[in-house]
Amino acid sequence: MTHEATMRVYKCPSCGGALRFDAQAKTLSCIWCGNSFDVADLEAVQVRPALQGYVCPECGAQLMTEEYVVATTCPYCGNNEIAPHRFEGAFEPDLLIPFSVTKRQAVQSYEEVVASRRYLPNDYADEARVVSVEGAYVPFWLHSGIVNFDFTYMGIFKKDKTNYESKHHRVGTYEFARVPADGSQRMPDDVMDSIEPYDYTALVPYEPGYLPGFMAERHTVAADEVNQRVNRRVANSACSAAMETLDPIYKTRYPDYDRYHATVARTRMEQALLPVWIVVVAYKGDKYTVGINGQTGKVAVNLPIDAGKQRVAATREALKTGAKVLAAELAFGLFVFAIGVHAVGFNEMISRVRDLFNGTAWVQASAMDAIAYVLFTVLFLALLAGPVVHAFLEGRQKVLDSMHNVKRASEADAFDVGGLNVTLSEVGEGPL
């Protein structure tokens, strides 16, 4: 159902052309005459009422926008329009970080990432096509508050080749400030998490004058819908921070989740629009989304992998590990041979080894000796195969990690939320 809405247009006072926010100059620049104007000094022009399916007041084109879109650009004449009424009431942002990265720089960052990824398919450069490059102010909820925690950790240290394990009790508070969670349904959470962090010193009070030239939308995910995700994230951050207070002697440390208690109390909730470049790439029928932080230029990619190159890389890792293990086993074999020489003499040991390899020993051996030979062979192969298989799988994962730096939401929970404070009110140490 459509309803009437007032569109706000930022027009150049010099020539009447459309204005666009310049990420480098931090001003509104005319796309026609090139003149620049300060955001705070320029008044928007109120134009005639328009519908969600509205008529561009500049060229008359019939346009449609979703009801949550606040800023948009006419694809026909380039006119930038804002519907500020869509930010009224509970939807009005408190803060905004202006774009610092330009569209050209965003595309260049994507191209640099592609050039550095050696496991792409050979035809990617020729076949991949950038479908769209969109700068968007994405709505975020910024959470501030305190985690009250009561954690118990297990710590292990080694002394005289013996492992000693003890438990460590930590009770206290963990302050967090402006932990972000995107409030947009259409933006993937993992991409938004992966382009963090933002520098909050650049936050400014929300002004619609920063929006021309970019997409902007109001939140479509309510604050309470991201509470559980943020709670898990700050609790995990508190757990990690408190665990750092353990003595460094404990090289192995981990939480005892049977004694893991954390409650989150919020002291402040803010709405902020944060700048994001979204690059959509089409390759052989699939589309890949690249997220770029519009302030820092940090890139989150999830690119296709050439299966053959991945196998070669994994096999190379397996061969390297296999060579090391085999060398160690041969060294052990020489050690055993040396002991045999000392026990039965060199000629006798040579004869036994020759019989072992030509099969004579298997024929002449007793049942117990044959079983021993079989077990020794199985053990030899197992000691070789285990590390080799592990190295192969690790090699595959290294390739995956180098091509996909977009973290899943569960992994993103462990991200550093930065600049936070831990206060311990109770510390307990003791053996198990």
Compute the CA torsion angle 398, 404, 405, 410 (nearest 10 deg): -100
Among 87-101, 106-120, 256-270, top mean pLDDT goes to: 256-270
pLDDT at 412 over 70: no
Give per-residue pLDDT as tens, 359-381.
555 555 555 555 656 666 677 66
Lowest-confidence segment of 48-52, 92-96, 215-219, 392-396 by average pLDDT: 48-52
> Which pLDDT score is estimated for 77?
44
Name residues whose C-beta falls within 8 Å of residue 309's C-beta, 6 or more positions apart in sequence: 118, 119, 399
Looking at the DSSP bridge assignments, the partners of residue 173 are 148, 423
pLDDT at 58 over 90: no
Inter-helix orientation angle 307-344/346-358, to 10°? 140
pLDDT at 274 over 90: yes
pLDDT band at 275 (very low <50, low <70, confident <90, very high): very high
Give per-residue pLDDT as tens, 27-51.
777 654 556 777 766 665 544 444 3
Cα gap 131→419, rounded to integer Å: 38
Length reported for the chain: 432
**Domain range list for the chain:** 5-87, 103-303+405-431, 309-403
Alpha helices in 216-291 (DSSP H): 227-243
> Which pLDDT score is estimated for 431?
59
> Which pLDDT score is estimated for 2?
40
3-state DSSP assignment of residue 342: helix
pLDDT band at 52 (very low <50, low <70, confident <90, very high): very low
> Which pLDDT score is estimated for 237?
87
Give per-residue pLDDT as tens, 331-352.
777 776 677 777 777 777 677 6
For the four alpha carbons of 270, 271, 276 and 281, in that order, the dihedral sign comes to positive
Specify the higher pLDDT residue, 327 or 277. Answer: 277
Specify the higher pLDDT residue, 235 or 412. Answer: 235
Cα gap 43→209, rounded to integer Å: 9
pLDDT at 179 over 80: yes
Give per-residue pLDDT as tens, 123-177.
888 888 888 888 888 889 999 999 999 999 888 888 777 778 888 888 888 888 8
> Which pLDDT score is estimated for 376?
66
| Token pair recorded at residue 110 | 């994507």
> Which pLDDT score is estimated for 374?
66
What is the chain's mean pLDDT, rounded? 75
